[in-house]
A and B are shown apart, each in its own frame.
Chain A
Amino acid sequence: MRFHAALALAACLAPAVAIFEDDAHHIDFHHALIGRPKHDATFFQKPYAGSKASLLYTISQNNTIGAVNPKDGTLVWRHVPPADARGQTSLRAGEDQDTVVSAVGDRVTAWSASDGRIVWDARTPGATVEDLEILEQEDGITNSDSKDPIVLLSGAEQAIKRLDGKTGRVKWTFEDASGDTPFQLSSSPSTIYYISLHAPMLGGSKLRVTSISPVTGKKIDQYTLSSDGEIQNRDDILFAGANTAAPLLAWTDKARSVLKINIIGTKGVTSITPPSGEPVQDIILHAPNRINSLAHFLVEYKTRKGQAAEVYHVDLKKNNIKKAYDLPGLFGRGTFSVSTSDANVYFTRITLREVTVTSSASDKILGKWEVKGIASLVGSWPVQAVSEVVVKGGSATAVRTALYFSNGQWVLIRNGEVAWERPEFLYGITSATWAELAEQEALAHELEVEGHQNVVSAYVHRVSRHVRDLEQLPAWLQSIPNRVLSSVIGKNDESAIDEVQHDHFGFHKLVIVATEQGRLAAIDVGSQGKPVWNVDLHDLAPGVTFTAPSVKAFRGYVEVKDPASPSAWYVNATTGGLLSPVDLKHESPVTTDKNIITFDLLDGKLKGFLNSAQGSAEPIWTFTPPSGERITSYVARPSVDPVASIGRVLGDRRVLYKYLNPNLVLVTSVIEASQSASIYLLDSASGQLLHAVSHKDVDVTRPIPATISENWFSYSFTLSSSATSTRGYQLVISDLYESSLPDDRGPLGASSNSSTVQPSDAKGDSNKPYVLSQTFQIPEEISHMSVTQTRQGITSRELLVTLPNSNAIVGIPRAIIDPRRPVGRDPTAQEASEGLVRYTPHLLFDPKWHLNHKYELVGIKNVIACESGLESTSLVFAYGHDVFGTRVAPSFAFDILGKGFNKIQMLVTVAALFVGVLFVAPLVRRKQINTLWQA
């Protein structure tokens, strides 16, 4: 009940700065990412037996399990396992089952296929799951009720286990004490095959195949295959067919001159020679993974120029492999996919130009579609594909293929047309920065040129610039009727998205992002997060392996750096093209600062250097935490942080002056032994300690996010279990003022000049701020904090906190967490006029403060804010696992008309009033005349 009351109170406190329902999904965007899908664990599957539509299931290389609607590419459900999962991950589904089973690290989990709920969960502490297969048939009989998964474990326990498909309980265990490296499981209708790499004393390794009875889990047979030293580790095995009618094992030599295939269960090895001509770069085997399909497979040969393929049939009775037909070699990159329909096997060949479907039985082309390319796929090629084919009366009537392209787009092509694309390359952004659009940059540059010239030449330059601008006048005049019409009818959203040029409000800003995969991309935050360009950093800088690239924006270009390399690369912000340092000279901004003090964390101490002379010179100041303390992080006040008012007007019209120091740094440090955390406020110019505070009973293993802006800072921590008074999470906010007294400017108030480098010299007392703090108990952990930014700083600010448990970003209005809220009493009339309400120790996050509303933002690492063209509005961009962007107006959108303003209604009202005046005017005139006569 108390909770209800608190909730109601919080709701009353909150000024309604929530998102309007009709603005949601228009002003904001969310890329719910999965990452690069794993080819062998991506499939179309019906979510339950008898379902009409199928979903596209996948597990990505970062272990995210997801179900995507193949119609429009939206995510149906998704699950992100903890980041520390090791081993081979896989995702499998039994036919006609309502579950999909995943194996990640030490966990085997069955998920409800339609909504992603957990059905059962089995763990193997200490062991890792190497492989997972679903037992489709048992002694040749399909058990449609529930299909049991079999798992291969390594690590603490090397064994094969059969789990119950309904509960996850272990049915039997087959222990493998041979010490071989476990590789894979494969099943045929009657037997389970366990393939391991057997390393004999004399180099090389052999493949050991053990057959196990699916019913009892007892060993039936075992044999080894000699690979003639061609297989050294698991990566050398090209293909190990799982769950096929004829399970195959294929490997090749280093030169890819011969392909060797073994039908698992037999000892014979068939050698296949690739077609002569171009040297083969890669060989890929495509075989159906349905147990009751025909035992046909396709071998794809990739060469430098194109690809060719051969289709083979396996004769199960004679245990041999025969070539059926060739698919002609084609120039250009492409890929193949396998799909089945009943027992028939179809191969879909996808190139950049066309999609063709052939049956495995003959080389007749069953269907052919031209691919209509789209702009975002230019310069890339399909890497892997899964298909679904509809065949009626001997010809393919429809085909849809989910393709992963080399530029990281996951695309579905339906009958030759691109149905949707998912920008999976945006997964794992390590660094992001705001960049201005080229047009704005050009104007700013021109204005700067004028500013640095003498009056006459600046005037000539200006006039000539205006004359040049006249060229665009006719086009602008032509666009007026359209714009007026669309704005009245109310369809301006769509047009605004396309036209980056007509950006009146400065909402279209580019964010340049670099990912851990080494991709660099630009996203237009104003256009629903549309990727503008997308390049591979490895193309820009051959030979460098990017691990955690960082980006920094300059005027019109971006600097890219990586810890793996000492050099930096410069990239044009609008096109993504590489710039040579020569191009940059005339674009470099004019810096007037002579002395810049930089600081960094070195050897556990924070050190300040003059003119970034790190390493060589002596630091000009050093901040050493007390012994036993470890600095966990530091955060500086943003370099661009405009403040509109230097004071805060109180209810009685007196002024409390803000302590505004541009060089503030907030340092957080912890002591593990005593479970305490300390916060230090430093002046980065002088290295002076301005304020220090310490908290006991802090869980130092959890993050302590902090931020600093204007004249206040905030941080949050988790209370440890040793805390006796209360448990949970706390948020602390501190205001800095020049003096505790209103209308007083502290010790330096009277002096016209003061030095930040030596704040405490002759005056006797240093210019330390007066700090006012308040602590709030919050319902959940905060992983990151930042602050909204507006152009002039007039708009009140919002503290943006990332809640990893709620998958949300919450904007807490600054007025709510004001440390001046009166404690233990109701506010006086004067305090109430300042907007202060009585302090409550708990702060509940109102759902209306959530910037992301119904979106679920997974794994957000950082949130960056930027000013827009409007004072009321700040742009926000969040990245990490997912990508999210929105606009926030902490003090309402006071300088722009919202969607609530009905333009048609306004026009109708004006027209109605005009008509009314036309009617009423003669009446009034007559009446007035009558009055005069009557009087």
Chain B
Amino acid sequence: MKCSLFSLAGLASTALGARFALHVPNTQLVNPSTLPSSTHAILQSSGPPQEAYLTRSNSFNFYNVSAGSYLVTIHSRDALFEPLRIDVSLEEAVEGSGDKKEVIKSWQTFIGNEWDNKGESRGEGGNGVVLEARLLGKKYYFQERSGFSPLSFLKNPMMLMALFSMVLIFGMPKLMENMDPETRAEFEEMQKQSPLASGGAANPAQAMQNFDLASWMAGKTDTSNSRGHSPAPQGKKRG
């Protein structure tokens, strides 16, 4: 793996600084092979940042990285990546040998957090190490248009209330007709108690039409004024 990632070579015989690669593993969310070729990683410390574009083997290769602490951000049109902190340092491999070698360490980091607040390690090693660049998810640019759907229309509470009262108005008389006379009598007796059924119990629709909400709200209980001839239809007839 490392070999294929670093099959690329500088024409210059002398390589200064560290070199490493960030590899994008295949995830359930996004297949890195489908990412556009403009996907690139930025290594920022100070001054102009270093840039590396995505290669055919789904990695970003950095060369000649001098010692320092770097913020790595990866930008892609289609996917979101986790930001990383990469520290490059020169360390003696064996104490006192004087032979200094590059050591590369990487951690996840968090935007808006302290720089020393490092997260999980994303790999470390010497020159040519392959670190992990994690995908967080896909980017969704578009807003869904809230289109018309019959189901959402029915889910509306107002609609549910209307449908329920429709069932009551039209279903009740049918129900009453199918009842045996004894139960019906009992039911009618019950309805007489209820304020809604102050009108003709045989015709709930009409009762509904003539229902005096104001007086009901006021707690009026006498039923003398409503015997089917409410003022409204009469007035209409005379007019």
Binary per-residue interface labels of chain B (146-164) against chain A in the complex, 1 for a CB within 8 Å, 0 otherwise: 1110000000000000000
B54 near A: Cβ within 8 Å?
yes
Residue of chain A at shortest CB distance from B14? A125
Segment from B5-13, B165-173, B175-183 that makes contact with A: B5-13
Which residues of chain A have C-beta atoms less than 8 A from B141's C-beta?
18-19, 24, 847-848, 850, 853-854
Which residues of chain A have C-beta atoms less than 8 A from B7's C-beta?
120, 166-169
A310 near B: Cβ within 8 Å?
no
B139 near A: Cβ within 8 Å?
yes
A779 near B: Cβ within 8 Å?
yes
Inter-chain CA distance A724–B116, complex, in Å, is 8
Contact among A19, A701, A780 with B73 in the assembled complex (CB-CB below 8 Å):
A780
**Pairwise interchain contact A123-B112, C-beta atoms closer than 8 A:** no
**Pairwise interchain contact A805-B8, C-beta atoms closer than 8 A:** no
Shortest Cβ distance from B154 into chain A, in angstroms?
16
Q: With A168-B9, A726-B115, A844-B111 in contact, do A856 and B147 touch (Cβ < 8 Å)?
A: no
Residue of chain B at shortest CB distance from A108? B11
Inter-chain CA distance A270–B239, complex, in Å, is 116
Q: Which of B38, B45, B110, B111 has the most CB of A within 10 A?
A: B111
**Pairwise interchain contact B142-A932, C-beta atoms closer than 8 A:** no
B174 near A: Cβ within 8 Å?
no
Q: How big is chain A's contact interface, by range?
A: 35 or more
Contact among B80, B114, B148, B229 with A725 in the assembled complex (CB-CB below 8 Å):
B114
Inter-chain CA distance A168–B146, complex, in Å, is 53
Inter-chain CA distance A21–B142, complex, in Å, is 5
Inter-chain CA distance A117–B229, complex, in Å, is 85
Residue of chain B at shortest CB distance from A778? B111
Inter-chain CA distance A381–B106, complex, in Å, is 57
Which residues of chain A have C-beta atoms less than 8 A from B82's C-beta?
3
Shortest Cβ distance from A717 into chain B, in angstroms?
12
**Pairwise interchain contact B69-A721, C-beta atoms closer than 8 A:** yes
Q: With A117-B56, A928-B233, A931-B206 in contact, do A20 and B142 touch (Cβ < 8 Å)?
A: yes
B53 near A: Cβ within 8 Å?
yes
Which residues of chain B have C-beta atoms less than 8 A from A900's C-beta?
145-147
**Pairwise interchain contact B115-A123, C-beta atoms closer than 8 A:** no
Residues of A899-935 whose CB lies within 8 A of B:
899-900, 902, 905, 928, 931-932, 934-935
Residue of chain A at shortest CB distance from B113? A726
Inter-chain CA distance A841–B206, complex, in Å, is 63
Q: How big is chain B's contact interface, by range?
A: 35 or more
Binary per-residue interface labels of chain B (9-48) against chain A in the complex, 1 for a CB within 8 Å, 0 otherwise: 1111000000000000000000000001110101011111
Shortest Cβ distance from B234 into chain A, in angstroms?
8
B89 near A: Cβ within 8 Å?
no
**Pairwise interchain contact A124-B11, C-beta atoms closer than 8 A:** yes
**Pairwise interchain contact B42-A805, C-beta atoms closer than 8 A:** yes
Inter-chain CA distance A888–B40, complex, in Å, is 28
Q: With A18-B142, A721-B46, A779-B73 in contact, do A727 and B37 touch (Cβ < 8 Å)?
A: no
**Pairwise interchain contact A123-B46, C-beta atoms closer than 8 A:** no
Contact among A112, A170, A779, A806 with B111 in the assembled complex (CB-CB below 8 Å):
A779
Inter-chain CA distance A723–B46, complex, in Å, is 10
Which residues of chain B have C-beta atoms less than 8 A from A169's C-beta?
7, 9
Which residues of chain A have C-beta atoms less than 8 A from B12's C-beta?
123-125
Which residues of chain A have C-beta atoms less than 8 A from B10's C-beta?
122-125
Q: Which of A161, A166, A728 has the most CB of B within 10 A?
A: A728
Inter-chain CA distance A16–B146, complex, in Å, is 12
Q: With A725-B115, A728-B111, A856-B38 in contact, do A123 and B11 touch (Cβ < 8 Å)?
A: yes
Which residues of chain B have C-beta atoms less than 8 A from A121's C-beta?
8, 61
**Pairwise interchain contact A932-B112, C-beta atoms closer than 8 A:** no
Q: With A117-B56, A125-B12 in contact, do A902 and B148 touch (Cβ < 8 Å)?
A: yes
**Pairwise interchain contact B112-A777, C-beta atoms closer than 8 A:** yes
Residues of B63-105 whose CB lies within 8 A of A:
63, 68-69, 71, 73, 75, 77, 80, 82-83, 85
Residue of chain A at shortest CB distance from B51? A82
Q: Which of B11, B113, B146, B206 has the most CB of A within 10 A?
A: B11
A6 near B: Cβ within 8 Å?
yes
Inter-chain CA distance A118–B71, complex, in Å, is 23
A73 near B: Cβ within 8 Å?
no
Contact among B53, B142, B206 with A24 in the assembled complex (CB-CB below 8 Å):
B142
A63 near B: Cβ within 8 Å?
no
**Pairwise interchain contact B112-A856, C-beta atoms closer than 8 A:** no
Shortest Cβ distance from B189 into chain A, in angstroms?
23
Q: With A118-B55, A777-B111, A856-B38 in contact, do A805 and B73 touch (Cβ < 8 Å)?
A: yes
Inter-chain CA distance A898–B145, complex, in Å, is 10
Q: With A122-B9, A780-B75 in contact, do A115 and B142 touch (Cβ < 8 Å)?
A: no
**Pairwise interchain contact B46-A77, C-beta atoms closer than 8 A:** no
B143 near A: Cβ within 8 Å?
yes
Which residues of chain B have C-beta atoms less than 8 A from A899's C-beta?
145
A552 near B: Cβ within 8 Å?
no
B185 near A: Cβ within 8 Å?
no
Which residues of chain B have C-beta atoms less than 8 A from A125's C-beta?
10, 12
Inter-chain CA distance A151–B8, complex, in Å, is 16
Which residues of chain A have C-beta atoms less than 8 A from B228's C-beta?
931, 934-935
Inter-chain CA distance A429–B146, complex, in Å, is 39
Which residues of chain A have C-beta atoms less than 8 A from B236's C-beta?
928
Which residues of chain A have C-beta atoms less than 8 A from B140's C-beta?
847-848
A119 near B: Cβ within 8 Å?
yes
Contact among B8, B71, B148 with A727 in the assembled complex (CB-CB below 8 Å):
B71
Residue of chain A at shortest CB distance from B13? A170
Q: With A18-B142, A723-B115, A779-B73 in contact, do A2 and B110 touch (Cβ < 8 Å)?
A: yes
Inter-chain CA distance A116–B143, complex, in Å, is 30
Which residues of chain A have C-beta atoms less than 8 A from B55's C-beta?
117-119
Inter-chain CA distance A120–B143, complex, in Å, is 39
Residues of A222-270 whose CB lies within 8 A of B:
none
A196 near B: Cβ within 8 Å?
no
Q: With A699-B47, A779-B111 in contact, do A905 and B206 touch (Cβ < 8 Å)?
A: no
Residue of chain B at shortest CB distance from A169? B9
Binary per-residue interface labels of chain A (768-806) against chain B in the complex, 1 for a CB within 8 Å, 0 otherwise: 000000000111100000000000000000000000011
Residue of chain B at shortest CB distance from A80? B38
Contact among B11, B69, B71, B85 with A161 in the assembled complex (CB-CB below 8 Å):
B11
B213 near A: Cβ within 8 Å?
no
Residues of A118-137 whose CB lies within 8 A of B:
118-125, 127
Q: Which of B56, B80, B147 has the most CB of A within 10 A?
A: B56
Residue of chain A at shortest CB distance from B74? A805
Which residues of chain B have C-beta atoms less than 8 A from A3's C-beta?
82, 110-111, 136
Q: With A3-B136, A18-B142, A122-B8 in contact, do A718 and B110 touch (Cβ < 8 Å)?
A: no
**Pairwise interchain contact A721-B45, C-beta atoms closer than 8 A:** yes
**Pairwise interchain contact A170-B73, C-beta atoms closer than 8 A:** no
Binary per-residue interface labels of chain A (53-65) against chain B in the complex, 1 for a CB within 8 Å, 0 otherwise: 0000000000000
Inter-chain CA distance A336–B64, complex, in Å, is 46
**Pairwise interchain contact B61-A727, C-beta atoms closer than 8 A:** no
Residues of A850-909 whose CB lies within 8 A of B:
850, 853-854, 856, 898-900, 902, 905
Residue of chain B at shortest CB distance from A167? B7
**Pairwise interchain contact B112-A726, C-beta atoms closer than 8 A:** yes
Q: B-side interface residues toward A, CB under 8 Å?
A: 7-12, 36-38, 40, 42, 44-48, 53-56, 61, 63, 68-69, 71, 73, 75, 77, 80, 82-83, 85, 110-115, 136, 139-148, 206, 228-229, 233-234, 236-237
9 A-B residue pairs with CB within 8 Å: A3-B82, A19-B141, A20-B143, A117-B55, A120-B7, A122-B10, A170-B11, A699-B47, A727-B85
Across chains A and B, which 8 residue pairs bring their CB atoms closest together, nearest first? A842-B112, A116-B37, A18-B143, A777-B112, A853-B141, A21-B142, A847-B139, A841-B112
Q: A-side interface residues toward B, CB under 8 Å?
A: 2-4, 6-7, 16, 18-22, 24, 77-79, 108, 111-112, 115-125, 127, 153, 161, 163, 166-170, 699, 701-702, 718, 720-728, 777-780, 805-807, 840-842, 844, 847-848, 850, 853-854, 856, 898-900, 902, 905, 928, 931-932, 934-935
Known A-B contacts: A2-B110, A18-B141, A122-B10. Give 6 more (CB < 8 A): A3-B136, A119-B55, A167-B9, A841-B112, A856-B38, A931-B228
